[in-house]
Structure 1
Amino acid sequence: MFKKISLFVLVFALMLGCLPVMTAYAANNATAKLPGNSNPLMDHKFGADPYALVYNGRFYIYMSSDAFVYNSNGTVKDNDFSALTKINVISSADMVNWTDHGSIPVAGLNNANNGSGIAKWASLSWAPAVAKKTINGQDKFFLYFANGASGIGVLTSNTPIGPWTDPLGKALVTGSTPGVAGVTWLFDPAVLVDDDGSGYLYVGGGIPNTSDPASIANPKTARVLRLGADMTSIVGSAVTIDAPYLFEDSGIHKYNGKYYYSYCINFSGTHPAAYPAGEIGYMVSDSPMGPFTYKGHFLKNPYTFFGVGGNNHHAVFNFNNQWYVVYHAQTVSKAILGDGKGYRSPHINRLYYNSDGTIQEVQGNMAGIAQLANLNPYVRVEAETIGWNAGITTEASQASGGPFNNLNVTNIHNGDWIAVGNADFGSGGANRFRANVASTVGGKIEIRLDSPTGTLAGTLNVNPTGGAQNWNLLETAINNITGVHRVFLVFTGTGTSNLFNLDYWLFASDPTGTTGTRVEAESMTVGGTYAGTISSPFNGVALYANNDYASYNQYFAYSTHNISVRGASNNSGTARVDMLIGGTTAGSFYFTGTTPTVQTLYNVTHATGGQEVKLIVTTDNGTWDVFVDYVEYS
C-alpha cells in the first residue's frame, strides 16, 4: 500500500534499484514499529478508530480502513476518508505479534468494494464497534459501523473474523430513530453487553453551532440506545448524554459496577481547563442509560506523545485483569511522509484507576506493552502474524488450511523481513524449519535470531513453484535453536520482482538419531512383548514376536515418498515387517538371512504433516525374527 506515495519517494526507490544487490547484512529498516517496541501495533498498513474485543484468550482490534489517497500527480493528499469502505481486523494474544485478518468488505452501495460489499445500502464504514453475546447457546458477534455520519449499521457472524452477513439489509439507527433527532453526526458507535446480557449502543457527535459558545459547551449530540435481545433491533427511544464539550468518539466500559462513558473533547472555542481540547474525557453513571457525571480526562491528544496530532479516537478494554486503552495516532504516516496527513495507526498503552475510581492520565509511547506470553514456534504460525517487518505487505491468499479470509505475506524483495517476538524453543530445541511458499522467481529465507542481522540458524532455498498462488511446503535443516528468541525471517534474492509469497511457517524437532531423512532404529520407541535394542549385526532394534514394534513421529511435507528400511533376519529364512504411517499400512519389508540389506517401497502415498511411522511384526511364525537398522525416505 505504500508503493505509490510521492514523487520524492518514487525517485528514491528508483535510485535504490540501481544499487548493487544487498546482502542479508544490509537488511532493510522497519517503517515505524521498531524491534523491541510494541507501538504502533502494525506498520505494513493503516487502521483508524480502533475498537477492542476480547475472546478466548485473544484480543481483536477492528479499525476503519485508512489508506493513502492521491492527487492527480501521484502525490499523497490529506486523508479525505473516501477509502473507509472496509473494516481492518488484527488479533493477538501477547500485545507484540499481531495476526492480520485482512479487511471486512462492509460497504456495498454503488459497487463499493468491487461488488463484494456486504451492506448493499451503505457507501462507507467508519469507526467500528464489536460485541459478543451468547444467544441460544451459540456465541454470536455483532459489528456496528457508521455509514459516514448518516447512520449506524450492523453485521453478524459466528466468529470474531467472519464470515459476516447483514441481517437487516438497511441501517439499524437513522435520523428517524426515536430520540435521535438533533444529532449532528450520527456515527462513532460503541457497544456494551452488560452482565445480565442486555445490550446498549452509544452513538453521535458534532456541534450544532460552532459559533455559539453554549452549543460548543453542551452539544447534546451523544445518544444511548437500548438494544433488543437479538442485538439487531432498538427498544424504546434514544436517551441524550449531556457530555460537555463533546466532539466525537463514543466509548463505553464497566469498572467496579460503574459505567464509564468516554469521548473526544471538541476543538472549538475557548475551554475551561477541565475540558482540554482534543483529549479523551469521561463520565460515570450507575446505569448504562445514564445520567452520566463528568469526572475528568485520561488520554491527551496524540500530538503530545508523537508530535503529530489530529483527532483522538479510543476504546478501553480489559485483558487478563489488566486495563488498556487502544487509540490511533499518525505515527506510520509521519514516518513515511514526514507528515501524518490524517492517516492513522493503532496503539495500545496501559490504563490505571485510582482508588476512588477515577482514571489516571495514560502515558502514550512507542514502547507500548511488553510481550505478555511467549509464542509457540512448533505450531503453524501464519506468516501474516507479525511483530515487526520491513518492506512487505499482505494480500488475500488461495493457500489452504489457514483461517477464514487467509492472507499471505507478499511484496517481498531483497533485504525485506518479518519477525516475531519471544518464540520459546525450549531446552530440546528445533533443528528443522518449514515454510509454505509460492513463487515465480525464487529466493532464500534466512532464519536469524534476535535481529535481522543476528545469528544465522539456517537458510531455506525457495525455488519457483509455477505461480504466485501455487503453494509448496519446503523444509530445511537448521542449527539447533534453544531458549527464547525473537525470530527474523530475512528474505534475499535478485531482481525487482516479488521474490515469493509466504503463507505460514513453523519449526520442528526431529528425533535423536535423525540425519537428514534417515532415522536410526535405536532412537525409536519400541514396544511389544519381546522388542528391544541390539548391537549386532548393527546398532538397532529386534522385533521378535507378533505386535512387537518400533515407532517414531515424522513430519512429511509431501504426500509421496520412496521409503527404505535396512534390516536383516536372524537366520537364513525370510522375515517380514509391516510399515504403518498414520495408522495406515504403507507396505511390507522382507529380509532374508543375517546379512543386512536395504529394502525400498517406491511411491508410497500417505498423509502429510506430523505422522506416526511404525514398523510392526504381524505375521511372525515363531521362527524368523526381524532386525532393523534404520528408516530412510526420499
Structure 2
Amino acid sequence: MSVLLCLVVVTPAPARADNPIVQTSYTADPAPLVHNGRVYLYTGHDEDGSTYFTMRDWRVWSSADLVNWTDHDSPLSLTTFAWASADAWAGQAIYRDGRFYWYVPVKNRATGRMAIGVAVSQSPTGPFQDALGRPLLENGEIDPTVFIDDTGQAYLHWGNPNLWYVRLNADMTSFSGAPTQVPLTAAGFGARSGNPSRPTLYEEGPWVYKRNGVYYNVFAAECCSEFIAYSTAPGPTGPWTYRGTVMPRQGGSFTNHAGVIDFNGGSYFFYHNGALPGGGGYTRSVAVEKFSYHPDGTIPTMSMTTAGAPQVGTLNPFARQEAETIAWETGVETEPSSEGGMNVGWIENGDWIKVKGAAFGNGAASFTARVASATSGGRIELRLGGPDGTLVGTCTVPGTGGWQTWTTVTCPTAGATGTRDLYLRFAGGSGYLLNINWWQFATGGGPAELPLRRASTLGVS
C-alpha cells in the first residue's frame, strides 16, 4: 500500500459472485501461505469508513478449496508490538522449523519512522508474539516480503521508495550483513516518465518468490493509481529484468498489492480492489484469480473478475463446519465466540450465508447447529442453489438468554443430494435474531455428540 496521499474517485461496480473473497470486513495487502493442504491468507484490515490508511491489526483466513474461507480473527495487532504506535500495513508470513514468522511494517513510537517488526507463532492462525521486543530493522521504508531459497537461505526484501534486501539467519529473527539497496534501473524495473525522483516503475509492495529455477519480483507499479508489474532474475538478489504488466489499473482502489502461490496443481494471483459496498482506496477488499504461466515461465496479463478462482474439490457438509466458513454472505458479521474461535452474528431477517460446492452425495437426513439468541430467536432455512432456492430443511432457533449462551438445535432435512451450493438463509421478526457458531449435516440418526468447546478443524493448535 502506498504512503502517498493520492486520491482517485472511482465508483465501484456492485460485488457479485465470489470475488472479493471476504465480505464481512475490509481487507488489503494479501499474503497467501500454503501449509498442510490449506491456504492461509494474511491480510491487512482497513477500518470501516476510513479516509486514510487507518489500520490497527492484521487478519487471517484459511481455505482448503479457495472459495470457502474461514475467518480466524486478528492474531496480530499494533498492541503486539509495545514499541509500535500506528500503521499496521502490508506484511507477509512464512513457515520454518515448526514456527510461523510474520514480518510487518509499523511506525516506531520512539523514532516516528516506519520499521519492520517480526512476530512468531507455533500455529498459522496465531496468536503471534513479538519475537524481538524491538524492530528487526528500520530505515523508514515498508512492505516486507520473505522467501526461503532451495539452499535454505532466507531473504527479506522491502521498500518504498527504494528496494532493499537482507539475508536472514536461520533463526529468522536476525540477519547477516548490512541491508543492501537494489539498483532500480529501467532495464530491471521499467521506465517511468515525468517523475525524476522515481525514474522506474517500481513503487512498493514487492512479492519475491522462486519457481522452476526463476526468481520473480511482482510489485505495485507507478502510483497513483497503481498497476501490478513484475521482473525476473537468475538469482534471489538479481540482476532483475523487467517483464511487463500482470494486472492493469482497475478496481476502484488507487493501490494494489500482489501475492502469488502454487496450490494443488494450480497457480493463483491474489490482489485487492475497492469492489465491496463502501469500498475505495482506503476501504479495500482481497480477491483472487487462477492463472497459468506461459511455457517460457512468463506471467500472463490478467484482469480482475467477480467470479474469482474455481473451487478446488468440494466441501464436506457431514463434517462440522464453522459458521464463519463463507463463500459469500449478505448482512452478517463475525465476532469472537465464548466457545473459542469465531461465530457469525448480527443476523437479521433475510440475511444469508453461501457455502459453495457442498457434497451431499446420496442425501442428508438432518442438520444440527450450535446457536444462541438474546431475543426470541428465529429460523435457519436450508436452501440449495440460491437464497430463494429449493428449501430442504428449516431449523427453529429459540431464545437462549444471551448472544453467547449456546445451545444445539437439530432438524430433519430432505432433498439435499449431489454437490450443490448451500445457503443458510435466516428468517424471523425484526432486529437481530440469532448467532450461529457451527453446523453439520448427518446422513441419518443425527450427528455424533459434539463437545461444547470448539475443537480445531485444521489439525493445528
Asked whether the two chains share a fold, i.e. TM above 0.5, the reply is yes
User: Separation in 1 of the partners of 2:228 and 2:449?
Assistant: 54
Match of 1:376 among 313, 316, 319: 316
- The reply on whether 1:99 has 2:55 as its aligned counterpart is no
The aligned counterpart of 1:499 is 433
Aligned partners of 1:350 and 1:362 also within 8 Å? no
Give the total of aligned pairs.
Answer: 421
1:353 aligns with 2:293: yes
C-alpha contact (below 8 Å) 2:223/2:254 kept by paired residues: no
**Against the structure 1 CA distance between its residues 508 and 290, is the aligned structure 2 distance closer, same or farther, given a 3 Å change threshold?**
same
Residue number in structure 2 paired with 1:203:
158
Larger displacement relative to structure 2 (345-354 or 437-446): 345-354
Check the 8 A contact 2:136/2:174 in 1, yes or no.
yes
Aligned partners of 1:239 and 1:289 also within 8 Å: no
Q: Which residue matches 1:389?
A: 329
Counterpart position of 1:457: 392
What is the CA–CA distance in structure 2 between the aligned matches of 1:199 and 1:267, rounded to whole Å? 29
The alpha carbon displacement at 1:346 in A equals 0.4
Which residue does the alignment assign to 1:142?
101
1:141 maps to a residue whose letter is F
Q: Structure 1 counterpart of 2:287, which letter?
A: H
Alpha-carbon distance, 1:358 to partner: 2.1
The Cα of 1:350 is off from its aligned counterpart by 2.3
Letter in 1 for 2:96: K
Cα deviation, 1:380-432, whole Å, max 9, x if unaligned, reads: 100000011110000011125xxxxx1100000011111100100112x1110
Displacement of 1:345 after TM fit?
A: 0.3
Find the aligned partners of 1:558 and 1:127 in 2 and give their Cα distance: 38
Choose from 432, 445, 455 the match for 2:366.
Answer: 432
1:495 is displaced (CA, Å) by 2.2
The answer as to whether partners of 1:68 and 1:79 remain within 8 angstroms in 2 is: no
Does the CA contact (< 8 Å) of 1:375 and 1:421 recur in 2? yes
User: Is 1:152–2:116 an aligned residue pair?
Assistant: yes
- Residues 366 and 412, structure 2, Cα contact 8 Å, conserved in 1: yes
Offset of 1:557 from its aligned partner? 6.6
Name the CA distance, whole Å, in 2 between partners of 1:397 and 1:379.
20
Cα pair 1:444 1:493 within 8 Å, conserved: yes
Q: Determine the structure 2 residue equivalent to 1:170.
A: 134
Partner amino acid for 2:298? Answer: T
Matching of residues 482-497 of structure 1 within 5 Å: 482-496=417-431
Where relative contact order (Cα < 8 A, 6+ residues apart) is larger, the structure is 2
Alpha-carbon distance between aligned partners in 2 of 1:312 and 1:440, rounded to the nearest angstrom: 41
- Say if 2:85 is the partner of 1:192: no
Query: Normalized per residue, which structure has more helix?
Result: 1
Aligned match of 1:79: 51
Q: Which string of whole-angstrom CA distances, capped at 9 and with x for unpartnered residues, describes residues 446-482 of structure 1?
A: 1111111111111111101121111111111121422
Give the 3-state SS of the residue equivalent to 1:476 in structure 2: strand
3-state SS, counterpart of residue 65 of structure 1: strand
Q: 1:266 to 1:557 in 2, by over 3 A?
A: closer
Post-superposition offset of 1:197? 2.2
TM-align CA RMSD: 2.2
1:201-239 per-residue CA deviation (whole Å, 9 max, x = no partner) reads: 011112xxxxxxxxxxxxxx1001110100011111222
Tell me which residue corresponds to 2:411.
476
| Alpha-carbon distance change, 480 to 353 in structure 1, aligned in 2, over 3 angstroms | closer
Residue 102 of structure 1 aligns to a residue whose secondary structure is coil
Q: Mind listing any 5+ residue stretches in structure 2 that lack a counterpart?
A: 1-12, 108-112, 185-199, 456-461
Deviation at 1:105? 3.6
The separation in 2 between residues aligned to 1:360 and 1:555, in whole angstroms, is 48
Per the alignment, residue 122 of structure 1 pairs with: 84
* Residues in 1 aligned to 2:390 and 2:297: alpha-carbon distance in whole angstroms: 49
Q: Using a 3 Å threshold, how does the CA distance of structure 1 residues 447 and 295 change in structure 2: closer, same or farther? A: same
Asked if structure 1 preserves the Cα contact closer than 8 Å seen for 2:441 and 2:447, the reply is no
TM-score, normalised to structure 2's length? 0.87
Letter in 1 for 2:213: G
The answer (yes or no) to whether the contact 2:273–2:285 under 8 Å persists in 1 is yes
Residue 556 of structure 1: how far off its partner (Å): 4.0
Does the 8 A contact of 1:50 with 1:61 survive in 2?
Answer: yes
Give the Cα separation in 2 of the matches to 1:558 and 1:342: 41
The aligned residue for residue 197 of structure 2 is none
Any residues of structure 2 matched to 1:292-331 within 5 Å, and which? 292-302=240-250, 306=251, 308-331=252-275
Select the residue among 47, 51, 74 that pairs with 2:31: 51
Aligned match for 2:180, one of 239, 244, 258: 239
2-side partners of 1:155 and 1:283: how far apart? 29
User: Which one-letter code corresponds to 2:414 in the other structure?
Assistant: N
Structure 2 counterpart SS, 1:357: coil
Alpha-carbon displacement from aligned partner over 1:328-370 (angstroms, at most 9, x marks no partner): 00001xxx23x62521100111233222222211232111111
**Mapped pair 1:42 → 2:6:** no
Secondary structure, in 3 states, of the residue corresponding to 1:146?
strand
**Residue in structure 2 matched with residue 256 of structure 1 by the alignment:** 212
Measure the CA separation in 1 of the matches of 2:316 and 2:447: 19
Corresponding position: 1:288 with 2:236: yes
Counterpart residue type for residue 133 of structure 1? R
Task: Give distance in 2, aligned partners of 1:422 and 1:349.
Answer: 18
Which structure has the larger Rg over C-alpha atoms? 1
SS at match of 2:315: coil
The 3 A distance-change label for structure 1 pair 423 and 266 is same
Distance 1:342 1:81 in 2: 6
1:378 shift after superposition: 0.5
